[in-house]
Structure 1
C-alpha cells in the first residue's frame, strides 16, 4: 500500500488487520498524527516508512508487526525513540530522525527503555542498521544502546547533543561504521569499537583533539582497513614519511600487500566547508583506485587507500616500483590545493617488504656508477 504525500490524510481505522500486507508507505502524510492499533499479529509486513508524518509515538500493539524488517521515521514531530521497538527482535534496519531540540531521551525515558530490555530479555536484538539522528540524544544514551543494540553494524548518530562517547562503545563488537557528523557538543571519545572500519565526525565544533587520541592511535589503523574522517590539527607522529602539498611518493621492491599502506591527508585551515576527496594511487604509472573511495572530509582523513583494489593480484616487473599518492576533490572548491600535508605509514607487520626508499634508488645507482 502506497499513500505517500497524502497531506490531508488524518487517520486510519482505529485498528487494522491486514494479514497479507508486505509494504506500507505513508511518507509525506503530514496530517497523520497516530498509527493505528494492530491487535493481531501481522506476519507479512516487512517494510514501514513514515517519513514526514505527524506521528509522535507508536502504540504498544506495534510489536504485533512481528516480522517488520525496515522501519523509517523521519520528521520533526518525532520527539523520542519509540520504546516499543525494543520489543521487536526481528527489526534489522531502523532510521529515526527526531525534531532537533524538540527531541530528547530523558533519564526517565531511558529507565523505561531499560525496564523493557530487562522484561523482554532483548540482549540478542537483531538490529544491524540504526540511524538515530537529530534527536538530542544525551550522554546517558550509550550504556542503553550497548544493551539494546548489541549487534549493530552501521550506526548513525549525527546531529545529537551528547558530549562524550564513553568507553562502553567498545562493547559494540560488530560495529563497522559510526557517524557522528554535526554533533556540535561532542568533545571526547574514550574508546573505539574493536572492528570499526569507517568513522565520520564532520562539523564537530567542540572537538578536543587532545581528548580523542584513541582515534589516531597507530594500533587502531594498522589492525584494520580504516577510513576515518575527523577533526585534527596535525598528522599523527607515526606517519614516518610526509610531504607538503598535494602528493607523496616512495619506491618499493619485493612483495607489497595493500593492507600495509596507510595514508593521512590534512586539509588547510581556511576551507569554508567539508569537501569530497577521492584518493588516487599510481604504481609505475598505472592507476589503482575504486569507485567507492570518495569521502567527505573537513580536516583530517586517515585511510587505507588500496582496500578492495586489485593491487595484490598484480605482479610488478620492475626491480624498484614507484608509488605516488594524490587526490581528486570537489570541483566546486576553487583552491588549487586543499591539502596542508600528506603522510604515509607502511606497516611491516603482516606484510613482506624487502625494501622501501623515499628517494629515487635509480638516481642513486647512476651516481655510484659515475
Structure 2
C-alpha cells in the first residue's frame, strides 16, 4: 500500500479519510471527488506533488502525528493544489495555510472565500492563481511576487477597490503577466487608451522589449466566437500561437491584461531587422461580429534603458509632421477671426470722432 504513486477516489460513501492515509508515503498525485463530510490535511502526504479535491463539504487543518504545531510543516514537494466546488470559507486561511507555500499552481474554484490573505505574498513559487466563480470574493489583500497568470472570472462581489492590487504597475512591468478579473477602468499609468476594438502606436529601430495591453469587454470566450488578439505591423499580420480562454459569456465587464510578447509570435518580434523608419503597430481583435463587445483597449510601453522613448510614438509621426502648419492654422483660425473683427471695430471707433 505504501508504494501507491497515484490515487483517485470517487463517489465514496464515507465521511472522512482515516489517519492511516498518512501511510501512503509514496503518493505523488491524488484526485478526490466525493461528498466528504470533512476533509483534513492528512491527505497531504510527504511526497505529494498534486492534489485535486471536488465537492468537499469542509476542510480542516490538523496537527501532524509528531505533534508539531499547525503551520510548522511545509510540504516541499507540493506543486499543484486545487479545491473545486467545495464548502470552503475564510477559516482556510489560518496560519496553517502557509504549508502550501511551495505550490506553483493554486486553484479555488466555486468556493465561499471572501478574500485572499495578505500572507499569500510569501508564496514566492506561485505563478498561477485561479479563483474563478468565487462569487463571495470581495478583496485581494496580497499578490504573490512572481505571479504570471491570474483568473478571477465571474467573481461578482469583487469591486475595483478590492482588486486594486491587481493593477500594480511594477508587478506587470517586471513580470510576464496574463490577468483576467472584473473591472472596467483602464489605470492612469497606461500610455494610451482607446474606445473600441483596436489601438495603435509607432516604433523605430526595434520592437519594444515589453508592451502591455489591457482590454475591457463583457465577452472573453475567444474560442466559441473565434475572437483572438491580433497584432499588425505596417498592416501585416504577425502570426502567433494563442492559448484560448475557457469561459463563455460574462454578465459584467472584465479586464484582460497581458503582455503582447506572451502571444508567442512565430517569427519573433524581437528579431525584426533594425530600421530607422517608423513602423505602425495595431493591436486589435479578429473574428469580431459586433465591435461593441470590446469596449476599450489600453497600451503601455515599459521604459527600458536599452530603448529610449524617443523611438516610441503614440500619434502618427508622419501625419503630425507633415500637416503641422495646416493643423496650426485650423486650430487658431477662430482667434484670427476674432482678432480681425476687433481690429475693424477699433478702427471704426477711432475714425468716428474724426468725422464729427
Which residue of structure 2 aligns with residue 278 of structure 1?
228
Which residue of structure 1 aligns with residue 204 of structure 2?
253
Which residue of structure 1 aligns with residue 191 of structure 2?
240
Q: Contact 2:116 / 2:140 at 8 angstroms: preserved in 1?
A: yes
Report the TM-score, using the length of structure 2 for normalisation.
0.79
Q: After TM superposition, list the pairs within 5 Å mapping 1:9-48 onto structure 2.
A: 38=1, 42-43=2-3, 45-48=4-7
Please point out which of 106, 112, 123 is paired with 1:161. Answer: 112
CA distance in 2, matches of 1:65, 1:320: 63
Q: Contact 1:146 / 1:171 at 8 angstroms: preserved in 2?
A: no
Structure 1 SS opposite 2:43 = helix
* Alpha-carbon shift at residue 311 of structure 1 (Å): 1.8
Q: Cα 1:147–1:275, aligned 2, differ >3 Å: closer, same or farther? A: same
Q: Contact 1:131 / 1:155 at 8 angstroms: preserved in 2?
A: yes
CA distance in 1, matches of 2:292, 2:67: 53
Residue 104 of structure 1 pairs with residue 58 of structure 2: yes
Residue 320 of structure 1 pairs with residue 274 of structure 2: no
Q: Cα 1:121–1:238, aligned 2, differ >3 Å: closer, same or farther? A: closer
- Residue ranges of structure 1 left out of the alignment (5+ in a row): 1-37
Please point out which of 25, 49, 54 is paired with 1:92. Answer: 49
Deviates more, 1:240-249 or 1:66-75: 66-75
Q: After TM superposition, list the pairs within 5 Å mapping 1:57-72 onto structure 2.
A: 57-72=16-31
CA distance in 1, matches of 2:281, 2:216: 20
Which residue of structure 1 aligns with residue 352 of structure 2?
none
Which residue of structure 1 aligns with residue 178 of structure 2?
227
CA distance in 1, matches of 2:179, 2:195: 21
* Alpha-carbon shift at residue 69 of structure 1 (Å): 1.3
CA distance in 2, matches of 1:352, 1:240: 16
Structure 1 SS opposite 2:189 = coil
Q: Cα 1:243–1:132, aligned 2, differ >3 Å: closer, same or farther? A: same
Which residue of structure 1 aligns with residue 257 of structure 2?
302
Residue 358 of structure 1 pairs with residue 289 of structure 2: no
CA distance in 2, matches of 1:232, 1:95: 29
Q: Cα 1:136–1:115, aligned 2, differ >3 Å: closer, same or farther? A: farther
Q: Contact 1:278 / 1:293 at 8 angstroms: preserved in 2?
A: no
Q: Contact 2:196 / 2:294 at 8 angstroms: preserved in 1?
A: yes
Q: Contact 1:94 / 1:131 at 8 angstroms: preserved in 2?
A: yes
* Alpha-carbon shift at residue 203 of structure 1 (Å): 0.8
CA distance in 2, matches of 1:79, 1:113: 21
CA distance in 2, matches of 1:89, 1:306: 38
Higher relative contact order (CA 8 A, sep 6+): 2
Q: Contact 1:143 / 1:168 at 8 angstroms: preserved in 2?
A: no
Which residue of structure 1 aligns with residue 38 of structure 2?
80
Bigger share in helix: 2
- Alignment RMSD (CA, Å): 2.8
Alignment deviations for residues 77-132 of structure 1 (CA, whole Å, 9 cap, x no partner) = 1343342223x121101111124xxx123xxx335579966389532431101111
Q: Contact 2:71 / 2:95 at 8 angstroms: preserved in 1?
A: no
Structure 1 SS opposite 2:292 = coil
* Alpha-carbon shift at residue 53 of structure 1 (Å): 4.2
CA distance in 2, matches of 1:290, 1:85: 41
Which residue of structure 2 aligns with residue 12 of structure 1?
none
Structure 1 SS opposite 2:78 = coil
Which residue of structure 2 aligns with residue 8 of structure 1?
none
* Alpha-carbon shift at residue 305 of structure 1 (Å): 2.2
Structure 2 SS opposite 1:118 = coil
Deviates more, 1:344-353 or 1:127-136: 344-353
- Residue ranges of structure 2 left out of the alignment (5+ in a row): 327-356
Q: Bigger radius of gyration, 1 or 2?
A: 2
Aligned residues: 313
* Alpha-carbon shift at residue 204 of structure 1 (Å): 0.9
Which residue of structure 2 aligns with residue 186 of structure 1?
137
Alignment deviations for residues 4-44 of structure 1 (CA, whole Å, 9 cap, x no partner) = xxxxxxxxxxxxxxxxxxxxxxxxxxxxxxxxxx4xxx23x
Which residue of structure 2 aligns with residue 127 of structure 1?
78
